[in-house]
Structure 1
Amino acid sequence: MSYDKFTDTIRQNHEQAIEEVTRGRQFDAWIKGSSRTSIRGERFETKDPATEKTITTVPRCQEEDVDKAVEAAKKAFNQTWGSLPVDERSEALLDWVETLRANSEELALLESLDTGKPLADAEYEVSEAINYIEYYAQIARGEQGDQLPIGDDTHAFTKHEPYGVAGLIVPWNYPLLLASWKLGPALSAGNTVVLKPAEDSPLSVTRIAQLSEDVLPPGTLNIVHGFGDEAGAPLTRHEDISKLSFTGEGQTGETIMKAAAEQITPVTLELGGKSPFIVFPDADLENAAEIAAEGIFYNTGQSCDAFSRTLVHEDIHAEFLELFRAEAEERIVGDPLAKETTTGPLASKQQFEKVREYIEIGKKEGAALVHGGESISITDSDDGWFVEPTIFDGVENDMRIAQEEIFGPVASVIQFADYNEAVSIANDIDFGLAAGVATTDLSIAHRASDDIQAGTVWVNQYADLVPGTPFGGFKRSGIGRECAKDTLREYQQTKTVNISLGQMD
């Protein structure tokens, strides 16, 4: 692949885009319905992964800022949002959805600049994020308890009530989309929220909070920026946080569970993955190769459900590998703002260095590098955190590149001899978030879906997620489910009411 068509105009384009989305606007914390700087006045930069230039700065919040945000959320819960009838909450959220849709182009540009994802992908993800908020605003109206048949002299029923203040922590790879997975059910259920976006990509979430002004009651939605030990930790251990939801890597998830245990705070955790994609010998190989490429190279591999292990039957291995490599060659690595780009940079320098390290680990472990593996520049300088789509063949499932979450565009191809070996390899991992199966045999599809230990199994597709389909993990991939109707229950407590009707004469 040639990159010589890309020039220094990329930097000019990005400078212009940054000026457009930041002109006259400061990205501060959002507390009690207005922008706030941190109490200490400290700020930190968020950078454009394609050019390594600073986009803007955000407050470096500390425990005292978290306290202010939680205080505002608690007051809003007790005085306004928590006591609003569900139809009024729904109307307010739908008004917010309308405002977000009117500003979706701006949100997508912010998301692209802040994460490095291609603008077309950012546009799609912003649209989906808004759809999730709308979905929860609508289904909340239909929520109802159950009447319990106990006896003629007793009327018993259940009702569902919000917890109070929900603390939400979202990652850097899909900042707005994953925030919507939590904001939609949390707010629709009647909770107020304090949300901490990732320090590497805080801008789109901050902007949707600003767009809630005069739509949501002050204090309903609060945003605090900062680093995990300075802002995240105080949020997870706060005595006035009644519900926690976190998406991110496993070690942080463990830390959050321990903090939650001290307060007996219920948690939802969506953690890591090392998803297998099993290509059976009867599969449509061209289609399977397309799915495998989309599954590992979309969002530059920075997806918790990425198909990072491609399991291929030995009889079709050679043919499939050529098709897979051809798909990788067709990926256009380039300027995220360019229409033709399908693969952007990694989201941060830290992630860039991590991916490069794992590529070297794969080589040392004896895997065969059949495509990519190089860091590249798309200009005449070394700007940007770009890595080629990479495929390793000859991978054994006990290699580090097969067992550890790389979170980059690095595929490990593993051969299997029969069905039982395929399922055994697929399940021989600490994670269980998602998996994929390529087959034209419905019996194999159903059987594999039953046997694979994962919260989601996609057959002949990748990441077909829509509002209403539960998403979450088995094993070390997490606790709870997002994206579905039942997710409202993650943000509600069930109360049983039992009323004696007295003796009948």
Structure 2
Amino acid sequence: MLDKPAPTGRSLYIGGSWRHPLSGRYVATLNPGTNEPICDVAEASAADIDAAVAAARAGFRMWRQVPPLERGRILKAIAAVVRDNARELAALDAANCGNPVREMIGDAGIAAAQLDFFGGLVTEMKGDTIPMGPDAINLTVRQPLGVVARILAFNHPFMFCAGKMAAPLAAGNAVIIKPPEQAPLSSLRLAELIGGLLPEGVLSVVPGGREAGTALASHPGVDKVALIGSVQAGRAVMKAASDTIKPVLLELGGKNALIAFADADPARVAAAVVAGMNFTWCGQSCGSTSRAFIHRDIYDAVLARLPEKLSGFVPGIPTDEATTMGAIVSANQHDRILDFIASAKAEGARLVCGGRVPDDPRLGGGFYIEPTIFADVTPQMRIAREEIFGPVLSVMPWSDEAQMLETVNSVEYGLTCSIWTNDLVKAHRTALAAEAGFVWVNEVAKHFLGTPFGGWKQSGIGREECLGELIAFTQEKNIHVSLKLPG
């Protein structure tokens, strides 16, 4: 069992130093595994955001002059700090967001890999030359945007903080991080660990709620805002950003499909159905394949295997290294998920397993729900249409391919899709037909650094984890040089 940790810095990290919020307001941040307070953390107001933006603009003027290879070296130094402190940062996230500490150590590795990746791409922000004949040279260059705000989600707080600062910093921007309101501690600790590696103002961390997020999105001194969050939050950010016509990068929700054809092996499909739900962090993942479309020929065989495949996911104290499934992030989210489960029962879905709050007395104070699977779900049911962001899976039989694809594409989301078949034609045909930005064939739940991750429809705008993310934090300039001699 790891001790409950907390960073020393619990205020606002602005301009290379810690500042009390101008309002003097601090709010408790909780451990969802026990529903006990960890410590009080500053809550930034719009006035604090003004100060952060002013410091970031000053930091940007210095950072943009740092040669790209030196920026890359600094990012790799930050990656080394992340790796050296992985266990501490993982413990912070386990205590503050409810995900199991063993998995959070992996998150630190992913974040460090992203820092290394973008640190190595700094020379790839290249322009073009355009032929103009013998009397002129025409070329394009890419330059940083300025100040980038990144608003983070609660399901992977540290991974998002460290990993998502990498691309904008590599491109020469200053970055303001607003950590998740529910779980700000790991972001604050990161500022303590790496603040001295960057010029003052280049990195700011401003914990806060809706006021801080709105102030960042609408601020005229912020040149781009990126959000990981719900569709509703994405809409709010777009509206706030529209006043200054600033670009946005949005990685939003999902109601993702796993499609299994009749020729797929039922045992492999059952394992994929469970793996795709990310039950380890309670299904709190926008990429989770929370709708499983299983061909009728293998439907019963797959369902029969699900309880055994699910047996390894048992809710437990998040900071315990033996825990395989953590806690829901908050009481509000816990109540919301239980309401979805009640609606599924009322609408006639068949409960295969789970659906209850665990009766383990050690978990009585926290926010836990058993991994839950419903079968015989119909497309009209609420659990088949709305993003739950919890450990609830809907399984649906199908026999008509065209009708199945119509149902798969009928929701407003389009983030991921997983296809299971041994038929190459079916695999490619279905991958092209799925209205999703990231498609697996005979695979599920994995990200591959260097490949573009992002959604279609209301699941987002833009791509991350690839060269395109780096380019998205630059702006293109055309330069025309006349070579005509006078006279």
* Smaller-chain TM-score bracket: over 0.9
SS of residue matched to 1:486: helix
Output the CA distance in 2 between the equivalents of 1:397 and 1:463: 23
Q: Say which SS state the counterpart of residue 249 (structure 2) adopts.
A: strand
**Amino acid corresponding to residue 350 of structure 1 in structure 2:** N
Alignment of structure 1 residues 468-479 onto 2, 5 Å: 468-479=450-461
Task: Name the counterpart of 2:219.
Answer: 238
Match of residue 413 from structure 2: 431
Contact kept in structure 2, 1:93 and 1:216, CA below 8 Å: no
User: Contact between 1:148 and 1:156, CA under 8 Å: does it hold in 2?
Assistant: yes
Aligned partner of 1:334 in structure 2 is 316
Match of 1:50 among 33, 39, 42: 33
* 1:133-172 CA distance string (max 9 Å, x none): 1111111133321111222211111111111011110110
**Is 1:287 aligned to residue 268 of structure 2?**
yes
How far the C-alpha of 1:377 sits from its partner, in A, is: 4.3
Unaligned stretches of 5+ residues in structure 2: none
- Does the Cα contact within 8 Å between 1:435 and 1:458 map onto a contact in 2? yes
Alignment counterpart, residue 324 of structure 1, candidates 301, 306, 323: 306
2: CA distance between counterparts of 1:467 and 1:206? Answer: 26
CA contact (8 A) 2:82 2:108 kept: no
Q: Deviations over 1:198-227 (max 9, x none)?
A: 110111111111112221111000011111
Shift of 1:414: 0.9
Structure 1 stretch displaced more, 304-313 or 338-347: 338-347
CA distance in 2, matches of 1:179, 1:409: 24
- Cα displacement (A) at 1:379: 2.6
TM superposition shift of 1:336:
2.0
The Cα of 1:130 is off from its aligned counterpart by 1.3
The CA distance in 2 between the partners of 1:106 and 1:282, in whole Å, is: 46
Question: What is aligned with 2:255?
Answer: 274
Note if contact 1:96-1:216 (Cα within 8 Å) is conserved in structure 2.
Answer: no
Checking the alignment, whether the CA contact within 8 Å between 2:195 and 2:203 is kept in structure 1 is no
Secondary structure of the 2:137 match is: strand
Partner-residue secondary structure (3-state), 2:132: strand
1:414 paired with 2:396, answer yes
Q: Secondary structure at the match of 2:397?
A: strand
Checking the alignment, whether the CA contact within 8 Å between 2:152 and 2:160 is kept in structure 1 is yes
Are the structure 2 counterparts of residues 306 and 381 from structure 1 closer, same or farther at C-alpha, using a change threshold of 3 Å?
A: closer
Within 5 Å, which residues of 2 pair with 1:9-48? 13=1, 17-18=3-4, 21-22=5-6, 25-48=8-31
Change (3 A) 1:338 1:287: farther
Q: Is 2:433 aligned against 1:448?
A: no
Q: How far is 1:265 from its partner?
A: 0.3
Q: Is the 8 A contact 1:163 1:243 kept in 2?
A: yes
Cα deviations by residue, 1:246-296 (Å, 9 ceiling, x for unpaired): 110111111111111110101111111000001111112211111111111
**What is the identity, as a one-letter code, of the residue corresponding to 1:437?**
I
Runs of 4+, deviation exceeding 6 Å: none
Worse-superposed segment, 366-375 or 413-422? 413-422
User: Judging changes above 3 Å, is the alpha-carbon distance between structure 1 residues 137 and 381 closer, same or farther for their aligned structure 2 residues?
Assistant: closer
Amino acid in structure 1 at the alignment position of 2:231: G
Any conservation in 1 of the 2:125–2:471 contact (CA below 8 Å)? no
Shift of 1:396: 0.7
Deviation per CA, 1:380-425, whole angstroms, max 9, x where unpaired? 5621111000011111112111110000000001111132222222
Q: Assess, with a 3 A threshold, how the Cα gap between structure 1 residues 288 and 504 changes in structure 2: closer, same or farther.
A: farther
Aligned-residue offset at 1:114: 1.1
Q: State the identity as a percent.
A: 36
Counterpart of 1:334 in 2: which secondary structure? Answer: coil
For residues 94 and 488 of structure 1, the distance between their equivalents in structure 2, rounded to whole angstroms, comes to: 16
Report whether the alignment pairs 1:387 with 2:345. Answer: no
User: Distance in 1 between the 2:88 and 2:262 partners?
Assistant: 45
Please give the alpha-carbon distance, in whole angstroms, between the structure 1 residues aligned to 2:283 and 2:80: 32
CA distance in 2, matches of 1:115, 1:378: 20
Contact 1:367–1:395, Cα closer than 8 Å, also in 2? yes
1:256 aligns with 2:240: no
1:142-291 pair list within 5 angstroms: 142-228=124-210, 230-291=211-272
Residue 71, structure 1, aligned to residue 71, structure 2: no
1:27 and 1:460 mapped to 2: Cα distance? Answer: 44
Q: Deviations over 1:448-473 (max 9, x none)?
A: 11110100011122222132111110
In the alignment, which residue of structure 2 is the partner of 1:405?
A: 387
CA distance in 2, matches of 1:168, 1:242: 11
Spell out, residue by residue over 1:118-142, the C-alpha distance to the aligned partner (whole angstroms, 9 max, x if none).
1111011111011111111111133
> Is contact 1:286-1:323 (8 Å) kept?
yes
- Tell me the amino acid that sits aligned with residue 324 of structure 1: L
Determine helix, strand or coil for the equivalent of 1:268.
strand
CA distance in 2, matches of 1:339, 1:285: 31
Judge conservation of contact 1:468–1:485 (CA < 8 Å) in 2: yes
- Is the contact between residue 473 and residue 479 of structure 1 (CA under 8 Å) also seen in structure 2? yes
- Residue 4 of structure 1 is matched in structure 2 by none
TM (norm. structure 2) is: 0.97
CA distance in 2, matches of 1:270, 1:62: 25
Of residues 172-181 and 352-361 in structure 1, the stretch that sits farther from structure 2 once superposed is 172-181
Q: Give the superposed CA RMSD.
A: 1.5
